[in-house]
């Protein structure tokens, strides 16, 4: 008889994982606390759109839904930097103009992965079921529904229930040496809108990720298929100028006119959006282990939430699905070994991603504004073109390859060192040669 899996959470990774497990022939029940996203419910609390790149696309391709998912995605070929005077600078993501990241709607992608899972008759999806506890040993999930409580027993439970995972909480309470660390940035985020132009067109360059870098904070905007842009303001919660001190419409208007003057005329609903949209927090979560024998396992944000500045949280969660699927294939009769191998293949890499994501916040909000950044990016592209396959900028490795994140981070450190040493040697030789000529 096929093993029975219970998955908790049908967000982005939950739906995709259910499809992978369904294809492998397992009996899968997926429980989601929210209502069916196809009934028009907002996938509340998270970004409206996301950037999907090579790792995420590969995971969709492996289950045959990449074209379906990407049909409405908008390619973004580089960063469009808006300085305070409204001057724009475009920096391509890669020397190869075909390499781009893609803006994709969260709700549409969520629906695509859920529908992919439901094509397998052995997968069932249950909405409006909230997990409140997991008995790890049996393993049994306690669910709350509008009709009361329900206990569901299975062979294995997978927690795909996001950064504030109830499954992980049960592991924390019941596994003696469970390691857990959560750290919040001092910044929060708020989503705002640039609506489509009168003819449904985009009011700014469509094929770019727009950034208004302002040193300690920033705003970004990603395009949507309907001609709108979703802007996200990343700003300190506290401080002299912060979410805390910006209370009235006048405060908001003044702040935006000072900092993002070219965006204000494009944001007719700015004040309403600012007032009504929630301010989200930015958390990094690290924990270990991600599994309990052959009974319980964590995947996606439940195992490793990262801040969004590398655009990799979902991509990494999708990559988890591929790796777990490979491990289940390798150890079809030993789920504990499959879970163990999945954990050991992913942990070091998602820890590396967590560090890269925090580092990229500083790059986006501060360094992208500088000429040095643009020169460094040009140098990166020159070296990449001159040394194909040998020199790869870190952003390129993370975004456009499937090299493990930890290997990417190590490789970039070595490359940077070599470039700096080479530059010092070149400068020393030039200075030495000049001095020699002058002295002759
Ligand atoms: C502002 C922002 C921008 C981002 N941009 C990007 C980006 O550009 N690119 C990228 O790759 N990543 C991005 N991310 C990260 C990405 O959103 C997450 O990594 C991704 O959603 C993780 O998927 P998941 O399925 O693990 O978790 P989630 O998508 O959070 O899904 C978890 C699901 O579990 C359900 N659930 C929770 N608790 C329970 C419970 N007790 N019982 C039942 N169900 C439950 C939830 O309702 C939800 O449906 C961004 C994140 C933020 C906050």
Residue to substitute in 308, 311, 354 for testing ligand 1 pocket (most ligand atoms within 8 angstroms of CB): 308
Query: For residues 366 and 215, is the Cβ–Cβ distance under 8 A?
Result: yes
Distance (Å, rounded) from C-alpha 23 to C-alpha 32?
Answer: 20
The alpha carbon of 298 and the centre of ligand 1 are apart by a number of angstroms equal to: 13
pLDDT of residue 427: 85
The alpha carbon of 166 and the centre of ligand 1 are apart by a number of angstroms equal to: 14
Average pLDDT over residues 359-386: 85
The residue whose C-alpha atom lies closest to atom 49 belonging to ligand 1 is 11
Inter-CA distances, 214 with 167, 217, 249, 368, Å: 39, 5, 21, 9
- 159 Cβ below 6 A of ligand 1: no
Average pLDDT over residues 137-157: 97
- Three-state SS sequence of 47-59: CCEEEECHHHHHH
> Is residue 378 pLDDT above 70, yes or no?
yes
Distance (Å, rounded) from C-alpha 406 to C-alpha 172?
Answer: 26
- 11 Cβ below 6 A of ligand 1: yes
The alpha carbon of 313 and the centre of ligand 1 are apart by a number of angstroms equal to: 8
- 8 Cβ below 6 A of ligand 1: yes
Kindly report the pTM of this predicted structure.
0.95
> Is residue 47 pLDDT above 80, yes or no?
no
pLDDT of residue 1: 64
Distance (Å, rounded) from C-alpha 160 to C-alpha 153?
Answer: 17
Q: Mind listing the pLDDT tens digit for each residue in 195-214?
A: 999 899 999 999 999 999 99
Smallest Cα–Cα separation from 49: which of 230, 306, 300, 232?
230
Ligand 1 atom nearest to CA at 161:
34
> Is residue 262 pLDDT above 70, yes or no?
yes
The more confident residue out of 274 and 387 is 274
Distance (Å, rounded) from C-alpha 338 to C-alpha 45?
Answer: 33
Inter-CA distances, 48 with 38, 147, 283, 306, Å: 15, 31, 18, 17
The total of other beta-carbon atoms located within 10 Å of residue 159's CB is: 29
Query: For residues 352 and 88, is the Cβ–Cβ distance under 8 A?
Result: no
- 53 Cβ below 6 A of ligand 1: no
> Is residue 287 pLDDT above 60, yes or no?
yes
Average pLDDT over residues 142-148: 96
> Is residue 40 pLDDT above 90, yes or no?
no
pLDDT of residue 376: 82
> Is residue 224 pLDDT above 80, yes or no?
yes
The alpha carbon of 334 and the centre of ligand 1 are apart by a number of angstroms equal to: 29
The DSSP H or E segment spanning 234 is strand 229-236
> Is residue 46 pLDDT above 90, yes or no?
no
Bridge partners, 236 (sequence order): 187
E-only strand ranges, 255-367: 280-288, 291-292, 296-298
Q: Tell me the average pLDDT of the chain.
A: 94
pLDDT of residue 41: 59
pLDDT of residue 383: 86
Average pLDDT over residues 133-159: 97
Q: How far is CA 157 from the centre of its chain?
A: 24
Distance (Å, rounded) from C-alpha 406 to C-alpha 408?
Answer: 5
pLDDT of residue 387: 85
Ligand 1 atom nearest to CA at 189:
1
User: What proportion of the chain, given as a percentage, has pLDDT over 70?
Assistant: 98
Average pLDDT over residues 95-102: 91
Average pLDDT over residues 58-69: 98
Query: For residues 193 and 230, is the Cβ–Cβ distance under 8 A?
Result: yes
The more confident residue out of 44 and 148 is 148
Place of tokens 């022939």: 25
pLDDT of residue 65: 98
Distance (Å, rounded) from C-alpha 203 to C-alpha 184?
Answer: 34
Average pLDDT over residues 361-376: 84
Distance (Å, rounded) from C-alpha 253 to C-alpha 265?
Answer: 11
> Is residue 285 pLDDT above 80, yes or no?
yes
Count of all residues that appear for the chain in the document = 440
The alpha carbon of 46 and the centre of ligand 1 are apart by a number of angstroms equal to: 7
Distance (Å, rounded) from C-alpha 323 to C-alpha 382?
Answer: 34
Average pLDDT over residues 371-375: 84
pLDDT of residue 363: 85
User: What proportion of the chain, given as a percentage, has pLDDT over 90?
Assistant: 82
- 317 Cβ below 6 A of ligand 1: yes
> Is residue 136 pLDDT above 90, yes or no?
yes
The alpha carbon of 301 and the centre of ligand 1 are apart by a number of angstroms equal to: 6
Residue ranges in 159-200 assigned as alpha helix (H)? 166-174
> Is residue 410 pLDDT above 80, yes or no?
yes
Q: How far is CA 308 from the centre of its chain?
A: 5
pLDDT of residue 82: 97
Q: Mind listing the pLDDT tens digit for each residue in 110-130?
A: 999 999 999 999 999 999 999
Q: Mind listing the pLDDT tens digit for each residue in 225-259?
A: 999 999 999 999 999 999 999 999 999 999 999 99
> Is residue 42 pLDDT above 60, yes or no?
no
> Is residue 44 pLDDT above 80, yes or no?
no
Ligand 1 atom nearest to CA at 312:
11
Distance (Å, rounded) from C-alpha 211 to C-alpha 222?
Answer: 9
């Amino acid at each position: 008889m096929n093993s029975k899996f219970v998955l908790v959470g049908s967000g982005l990774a939950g739906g995709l994982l259910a499809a992978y497990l369904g294809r492998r022939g397992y009996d899968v029940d997926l429980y989601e606390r929210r209502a069916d996203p196809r009934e028009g419910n907002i996938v509340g609390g998270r970004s409206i759109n996301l950037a999907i790149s090579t790792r995420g696309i590969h995971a969709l391709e492996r289950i045959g839904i990449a074209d379906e998912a990407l049909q409405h995605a908008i390619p973004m070929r580089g960063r469009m930097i808006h300085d305070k005077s409204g001057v724009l600078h475009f920096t391509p993501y890669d020397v190869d103009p075909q390499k781009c990241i893609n803006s994709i709607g969260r709700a549409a992608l969520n629906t695509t992965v859920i529908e992919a899972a439901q094509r397998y008759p052995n997968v069932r999806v249950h909405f409006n079921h909230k997990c409140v506890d997991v008995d790890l040993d049996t393993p049994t999930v306690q669910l709350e529904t509008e009709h009361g409580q329900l206990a569901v027993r299975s062979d294995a439970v997978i927690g795909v229930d996001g950064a504030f995972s109830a499954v992980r909480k049960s592991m924390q309470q019941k596994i003696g040496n469970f390691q857990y660390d959560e750290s919040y940035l001092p910044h929060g985020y708020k989503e705002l809108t640039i609506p489509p132009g009168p003819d449904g067109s985009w009011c700014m360059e469509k094929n770019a990720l727009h950034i208004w870098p302002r040193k300690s904070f920033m705003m970004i905007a990603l395009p949507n298929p309907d001609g709108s842009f979703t802007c996200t303001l990343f700003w300190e919660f506290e401080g002299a100028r912060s979410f805390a001190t910006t209370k009235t419409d006048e405060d908001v208007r003044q702040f935006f006119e000072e900092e993002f003057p070219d965006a204000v005329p494009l944001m007719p609903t700015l004040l309403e959006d600012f007032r009504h949209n929630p301010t989200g927090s930015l958390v990094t979560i690290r924990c270990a282990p991600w599994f309990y024998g052959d009974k319980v396992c964590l995947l996606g944000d439940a195992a490793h939430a990262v801040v969004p500045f590398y655009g990799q949280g979902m991509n990494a969660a999708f990559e988890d699905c591929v790796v777990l699927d490979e491990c289940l294939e390798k150890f079809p009769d030993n789920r504990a070994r499959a879970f163990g191998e999945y954990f050991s293949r992913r942990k070091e890499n998602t820890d590396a991603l967590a560090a890269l994501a925090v580092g990229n916040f500083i790059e986006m909000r501060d360094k992208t504004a500088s000429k040095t950044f643009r020169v460094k990016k040009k140098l990166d592209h020159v070296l990449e073109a001159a040394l194909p396959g040998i020199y790869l900028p870190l952003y390129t490795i993370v975004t456009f390859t499937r090299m493990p994140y930890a290997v990417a981070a190590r490789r970039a450190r070595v490359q940077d060192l070599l470039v700096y040493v080479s530059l010092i040697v070149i400068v020393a030789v030039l200075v030495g040669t000049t001095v020699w000529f002058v002295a002759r």
